Amino acid sequence: MAGLPTSIERLDLNRHVGSVLSGFRLLDLDDKEVEALKLFVGERGVVAIRDQSMSVPEQIAFGKKLGPLHIHPAYADKTYPETLRIHTDANSKFTAGEAWHTDVSCDLEPPHISMLRIEVTPSCGGDTAFASMYRAFETLSKSMQDYLLTLSAQHNGDLPFRGAYGSKSPEEYPRNVHPVVATHPVTGRRALYVNSGFTEKIKGLTKHESDSLLDMLFEHIAKGIEFQCRVRWEPNTVTFWDNRAVQHHASWDYFPETRSGWRVTTRGERPFLAA
């Protein structure tokens, strides 16, 4: 945690992914410390920080320190367009993120860091699970790794937004092609970059071949207990995750109780695979 305040207490959730920090206030970090936090998030994939009371404008301002903010193509908040309202209660038909995915991978330049702050938590449940895409790739056989390095896949925003969430918007949702394995631009590590939320097909394969390969990879991610962790939410917990390094899955196991908060997300770069 080089560059972060020495007073910080750290608890790792898994050897490969996830840490919980406490003992400091995010809004007090200077620019160099914010850069150190970004690097730590890239290395650990997901970092949760307890007891971080802040307003929505303060969260937006902190998010801007992480980078230019992403505007969600389907569900940007009307009052605060740089944010996404995360709210599920007894009247909800679904909860956002209830499948393994990385945020808005259908964009040409998908999100980098997501910053979710939960204000209201249920009496139990509501955890978010995270999986390291570094380890998801590294735990495949060498032959499969070599094959995946040659492939690219189409990501389609219609899959979740019109499909799972039933959007009726006339706007065209993004669809873009990205490498199946992408290089993290800061850590230099390779990460699996397909997900069940947005990835539609592998380019150059028949539908049967593509579906079979994607199903295998999605199952590998979902069953990869050794490279997964869970974040247990408490009021005013802020969790950062690097969409280039992890996938996440929100657990809706608290119906009819309420879980509510706000997310801001920074723009990333177009995924690439370094030679």
Is 184 tagged catalytic?
no
Q: Cβ(244)–Cβ(185) under 8 Å?
A: yes
Q: Please provide the distance, in angstroms rounded to a whole number, between the alpha carbons at the two ends of the chain.
A: 29
φ, ψ of residue 106 to 5 degrees: the values are -75, -15
Distance CA 1, CA 102 (A): 25
Active-site residue (options: 103, 107, 135, 189): 103
Please state, as a whole number, how many other Cβ atoms lie within 10 Å of the Cβ of residue 4. 18
* 147 contact partners, CB below 8 Å, separation of at least 6: none
Query: Per the structure block, which two tokens stand in for 238?
Result: 């802020």
Is 16 tagged catalytic?
no
Active-site residue (options: 117, 190, 259, 263): 263
The DSSP bridge partners found for residue 238 are: 49, 117
Cα dihedral 190/192/197/203 (nearest 10): 110
Query: Per the structure block, which two tokens stand in for 138?
Result: 């590294």
Residue found by looking up tokens 């801001």 in the block: 264
Is 263 tagged catalytic?
yes
Q: Cβ(139)–Cβ(17) under 8 Å?
A: no
Active-site residue (options: 190, 248, 249, 259): 248
Is 87 tagged catalytic?
no
| Pairing relationship of beta strands 19-22 and 46-49 according to DSSP bridges | parallel
**Among candidates 61, 22, 41, 188, which has minimal Cα distance to 113?**
41
**How wide is the angle at C-alpha 270 spanned by C-alphas 35 and 217, nearest 5°?**
100
| Pairing relationship of beta strands 128-132 and 259-267 according to DSSP bridges | unpaired
Active-site residue (options: 101, 112, 117, 249): 101
Query: Looking at the annotation, which residues are catalytic?
Result: 101, 103, 248, 263
